[in-house]
Structures are given as C-alpha cells and as structure tokens.
Structure 1
Amino acid sequence: GRETAPPAPSLVTPPAVVERNPQDCVERFDASRDYFPDKVAPRFASGFRVAYHRHYKVVSLGRAWGGEVFRYLLVQCGTPVPAGFDDVPVIPVPAPSVITTSTTELPAIVALDLVDRLLAHSTFDFVSSPEVRARIAAGAMFEAGKGGELDVERVIAAAPGVLLADSLGHPELDPGGLHRRLRAAGVRVAIVPSFLEATPLGRAEWLKYVALFFNREAHAEAAFDAVAGRYRELARRGRAAAPRPSAITGGPAGDVWHVPGGRSFMATLLADAGFDYLWAGEPSSGSLPLSFEAVYARALDADWWIHPSGWRSPAEIAAADPRLARLASFRRGDVVTHDRRLNAAGGNDYWESGNARPDLVLADLLHLAHPELLPGHRLVYHRRLGGGDD
C-alpha cells in the first residue's frame, strides 16, 4: 500500500542569521553610507542579475520572455529615488507586504521568514506549506484568483509592497495583459520566471532574487548555501556511481513523446542522481517532440521510468496505451512518480517545496538509482508505482 509522506523539512533559516541590511525605512538619509552590506549574486541561476549601489539596487531579468527587458529599481525606503531610471519601475525596499501568484514562490517567503507579510495568494487549494496554510486558516490573507481570474480590483485595493508573478507579461501565459493593467494601476509587480532555469540549483537560487525585495540577503545566502552544499555533495556521489541504470522520462501524448534534451533540467537531475538518461547526448535544453515509435524502441529495455507524465497508477498507464505495459521498467515496477506529497485538492508539494529543496529531490532519485549510497533515506517526494517505496 501507499505510505504516507514524511513531513516536509522546514525551510526556515536558523535564527542565528542576523540581517545587516535595513529591515525598516531609514529615518535620515546618509549619502555616504552603504545601506546594503549584505549582498547576493547568482552562482547557478542565469535569469537575473543585481547591481548594488549605496541606497538602491538595479535588478535585471534580461529578455525573460524573449522580448521585453524587465528591470526593477529597488530603492531603500526613506532614501531618494536616483535620477536616470525614468522607465524603470521603482519598488521601495524592504517591501512591507506581498502577494504571491504561484506556489513556487511560497518556499522563499517561508525561508525568508516573511509569512506574516503575505496579504494574498492566487488559489489556496494547492498550497502545501504548513506555515502558509496556518495563515490561511487564521483568515489573515485572501484568495486573489489565478491567471485571468485574478481579482484585479481587490489586488489594487490591497496595495501590496510587491506582487510576485511567475508568468505575468508572458505573451502566451498572460494573453489578457494583466501585467500592464496592474502596472498602470500602480501595483508593484515583479516577475519570478524561475521555471526557465535549466538546472535544479539555478531554479532554487531564485530565493536570492525574492530576498532582494525584502533586504533579506543574509537569510537567502544561509538557506541557499546549505541546500547547494548538500546538493553538490550528493551529485558528486551520483555522478561517480557505477553501474548507471538506464532511465527514460515523460510519456506519450497521442503519437508524440516529448523527451527532455540532454542539457535540460530533468536530464541534469537524472545525471546527478547517477542514472544513464537515454537522451543525455542530445544538446538541447528544451523538449524534443519525438515519435512514439522512436522513443518506445529505446525505452523498451530501460531500467527505470521516472516521472511518467501525470499517470498515478500502473492501471492508468496500461489503459492509456497497452504497449506501455510491455516496458521492462513497467513490468518490474520501477516506475517512479513525484506525487508522494499530493494534497486533497491536487496541489503537489514537489512543485512547491521541491523547487526550493533540490537536495531532497536528488536524494530521492539517488536512493532509487543507487540505494547503497543512501541506505537510510526515506523518499520525500517520490513514489514507486510498483510499491516498495523506500
């Protein structure tokens, strides 16, 4: 039978972290003072950059959606807005309040100890974080609505210090132009397109980006360094492990099977876990649309099938296409889903805390590929469809 998932590890930084950056507005402006002695810079993430000045930060996301260049001018509250940034949105920091629109943003809010600043979240059902669920239960935040159903008037009235959005401004994901409407109404919107990163540590490092808006750089550095250190040590062991069991991922939709390229997020994760991913040699960081037959021929003898689309049982897979039941991984029960921390409404903590804790995601996969390397590990996010979870 299916075991219950272990409780989510805390993402809160130990209280020993002391922020030297201002946690409030400053009373008197001192032009000679460096207001941000604690600084962060991305080491793994490629999607954002920050330039520090004495009392302001210039954050650049480049061409996040391939078109518009996103930049933000983060000005220490109580200090003057610098000249020369006429077209750059100004966001006073530290932001006194926040609205989130994706569960991927919530682990950063928890890790930075900012849950008490949450005014609203898009849809409550999918939230897994115990800290955020407690705030919802206390009636301390409202449901803002998802995507085109966003309650624009209520968001404007709430006047958040910053609204974090993963896809606003995207030509396809924001067809109604919500980003423009909110900006025009004076809402301080900051996009958080962490999902564009091609590596697990790159995605997790967006914690530092969120920290910029709250002057919580020291918290972010401490929390991320701990995760990155664990991840890199596990990856060192995984990449050195032998023999490497072969693996496939994804699943067919009709006659097409989208396969992650060899430089993609999933390919990196599988390589770090000590799997021999069958398309590791493809130079793409995106997804390759291949024919069912082409993938099936190579997948037939693969040792493992990791993250098989959205299927959650062997019966669902066999019903979708009886040929899939002939895969060696299916017959042995070595098919692995990431739905162990699914809530009653369908919210999956793999996409929430899992984004912030790639070290735990990697530990799961390393344990499956090479159980002798992590003999005491209990799966956190993953589940074997054939049973024998741990």
Structure 2
Amino acid sequence: MKKNLILLATVILFISCKEKSATKVIEKTTKSTIKYATGFDIITEGNVKKLIIKKPYKKAKKHFTYTLSDKTDLKNLQLKVPITNVVVTSTTHIPMLELIGAEKYISGFPQTKFISSEKTRELIDKGNIVELGTEQQINTEKLLELAPELVVGFALNGNNKTYKTIAKNQIPVLYNGDWLEETPLGRAEWIKFFGVLFNKEKQADSIFNVIEKNYNAVKKLALQTNKKPTIISGSLFKDVWYMPAGGSFIATYFKDANTNYLWQDSKGSGSLSLSIESVIDKGLEADYWIGCGLLETKKEVQEKFPNYVAFNAFKKDNVFTYAIQKGKTGGLIYFEKSPTRPDLVLKDIIKITHPELLPNYKLTFFDNLQ
C-alpha cells in the first residue's frame, strides 16, 4: 500500500511538472508588441501571427481574433496578408497608411472631401480612390465593384447594416477602434494595426517608437517648470458645454504638459455635459482656453457667444483653436493627423502654456483666436 502511494505521488508530480513545463513553453512563444493601446493586440504564437480586436465599438462584449495567413477564410476569421486593395472609412486612417507607404492600396473612401493630406488627395484627383458616399450610408454597390480584400470600418455598435451586407459578400470588415483609446500614445499605436495588415510591421514599430520617444522627451521637458497655468477646454453646442472628462486623452495632454486642467479630477473618459453657468463659475479666471470647438475668430465669438467675452482667457488673447488649419477641400488637419502625432499635439500645448521651454518651435495644429 505504501509503495502504491509513493508511486501515485511520483506520477502526479511528473504530470504536474510536465504541465508547468508546457505552460512555460507557451508563455515563451506568445509575444505581444502592444504597449499602450487597449483596443487591439498583435500576438505571435509559435509561427502563427494573430490580430485581436478587443474594442471594436463601445460596450462590445466580445473580441475578434484573426489569424493572419496566405488566404482569407471568413468562417474561421482568417485573413490573407499583405493587403493590396483596401477601403478605409476614417480620416485618422490616412496618415498611418501614408507613414508606412500603404496609401497606394486605398481604393475607396466615404466623403473624400474630408481628406486633407496632399499626398492622398492626389490619388483622389487621379481617380485612384473612389468616392463611396457617407460614413452612415456607404454606397455598397460601388464598394463591391472595387472588390477590396478588406474594409477597415468604425462603428458605434455592432448593428451596422452596411458592414453586415459587405461581410455577406465575402469581404472581411475589421473594426478600427483607435477613437476609443483613452491615451494619446494608445491612439497613435494603432499604426501597428495597419503595419501588420500590409506586412509593414517593422516599419510601423519603428515609426511609433520615434513618436513615443519624442512624446516622452517633451513630457519630461514640461516638468522643468514649476509654473502650472490653469486650463479650460471645449465649447457650447445647443446650450450644453462639452468639456473633456478627467480620464480623457485630452485631459492626459494637459496633464503631460504640466498644466492645471480645472476638470482634471472629473470622472469619465469622454466628454462632460455642463451648463455655461457652471463653466463660468469654475473657469472664468482660467489662464488658457485650448480647443474652443470650431470657432475661428474673436468676432465670431462675440456674435455667436457673447458670454465668452467674460472669460479671462478671452480677454488676454489666450484662446486657441484647431479649426483654422484645413485641407484644400475643407477637412480639418487636426482631426486627421493629430491622433497619429500626439508628440506634436503635446508640443503645441507646451508651446502655448510654457513658451520659454520651446522657443524655436512653431505651432502645428493650433492657432491663436484672432
């Protein structure tokens, strides 16, 4: 009996050691390259590379894991890479594709007038990129004629009928959730999403590493001053002032610029819905107002929002807007390019609030309201 117990214990120990050893092997062969983004991941398991979409849209309850291969199999969520014919749906996708040299693979886009980049606009003017209607109502007939290997979409929920129609025609749709990221570097890291789809992974990693290094360097620079000017942001829309919440990526910019954002302690990662009275009560004496919606001139402010004139930032000409710089067809450069270049956004905010730290730098996205 004693011998049997000893033998049983030995077998259990042996099996346990084998299980632990197998676990270690899996851990060693499973690698992720994502540092900041929470909405997607890229992992390598042995020789198999997988793209995982964790946050395809708000309140999503499931992940989508795609195996990257040499053929597409929608039933088994298998994607052929590299992609050579793609439809993208957000202007935020354009700078990332350009940085890795993949803009030439775009065949269609909804509302091309919002694309500001001169490089991609040239492709539109040549007819290489087809107009596909609006984001809400993509012209599926035109899209299907293009026969893209992939559609990169974005959606508020998983009930987008257009994307379901596209998928039924055996064209894979990947949700890009860069807009759901809560940190500036998390948003920029989505360049790796495109890198892995176009076999430009090393290039995407290298570009992001430079952006990350620049961002962290200027963030460190901001800490050299003890001055912390007070900041307000946002503007009125239909009698509601939308102010970035304390957990938003905008609030992160203000924190990393070493400023005192007056709503830094508020909860949430989106926008706060405030009354003009509450904003005046708390932010009337703020030193700077950065991001005043689509306002472009002081005259426009005085005509449309006379209450704004009372703000200290307005009186001292410290109101800054991203609405002035546009592409030739009217698209806002800030909306298109800033998610990819958070280092330049942070430099802008530091230049505005701590100009002595960046004496030779010129603003990239923001302009003083004139």
**TM-score (normalised: structure 1):** 0.82
User: Do the aligned partners of residues 331 and 288 (structure 1) sit closer, same or farther apart at CA in structure 2, a change above 3 Å counting?
Assistant: same
SS in 2 for 1:103: coil
Letter in 2 for 1:76: S
- 1:339 aligned onto 2:323: yes
Instruction: Trace 1:110-189 onto structure 2 (pairs within 5 A).
Output: 110-167=98-155, 169-171=157-159, 174=160, 177-189=161-173
**TM-score (normalised: structure 2):** 0.86
2:88 is matched with which residue?
Answer: 100
User: Do the aligned partners of residues 133 and 96 (structure 1) sit closer, same or farther apart at CA in structure 2, a change above 3 Å counting?
Assistant: same
User: Do the aligned partners of residues 274 and 247 (structure 1) sit closer, same or farther apart at CA in structure 2, a change above 3 Å counting?
Assistant: same
CA deviation profile, 1:16-71 (whole Å, cap 9, x unmatched): xxxxxxxxxxxxxxxxxxxxx9x762111111122223554332223433135241
> 1:377 Cα shift?
0.6
- 1:48 aligned onto 2:32: no
- 1:356 aligned onto 2:316: no
SS in 2 for 1:274: coil
Letter in 2 for 1:260: P
Letter in 1 for 2:291: H
> 1:220 Cα shift?
0.6
Which contiguous aligned blocks of 4+ residues in structure 1 show a shift greater than 6 angstroms?
none
1:74 is matched with which residue?
Answer: 67
Alpha carbons 1:101, 1:146 under 8 Å: kept: no
1:328 is matched with which residue?
Answer: 312
Distance in 2 separating the partners of 1:73 and 1:324? 50
CA deviation profile, 1:176-227 (whole Å, cap 9, x unmatched): x112111111111111110111111110100011212112110111100001
> What are structure 1's unaligned runs of at least 5 residues?
1-36
User: Do the aligned partners of residues 196 and 275 (structure 1) sit closer, same or farther apart at CA in structure 2, a change above 3 Å counting?
Assistant: same
Instruction: Trace 1:1-390 onto structure 2 (pairs within 5 A).
Output: 41-54=33-46, 56-64=48-56, 65-77=58-70, 88-167=76-155, 169-171=157-159, 174=160, 177-386=161-370
Identity of aligned residues (%): 29
Alpha carbons 2:188, 2:339 under 8 Å: kept: yes
Distance in 2 separating the partners of 1:145 and 1:100? 13
Letter in 1 for 2:67: L
**Whose helix fraction is larger, Structure 1's or Structure 2's?**
2
SS in 2 for 1:285: coil
Alpha carbons 2:241, 2:273 under 8 Å: kept: yes
Which protein, 1 or 2, shows the higher relative CO under an 8 Å CA cutoff with sep ≥ 6?
1
> Higher Cα Rg: structure 1 or 2?
2
Alpha carbons 2:116, 2:329 under 8 Å: kept: no
Alpha carbons 2:185, 2:212 under 8 Å: kept: yes
Alpha carbons 1:230, 1:359 under 8 Å: kept: yes
Distance in 1 separating the partners of 2:261 and 2:294? 20
SS in 1 for 2:279: helix
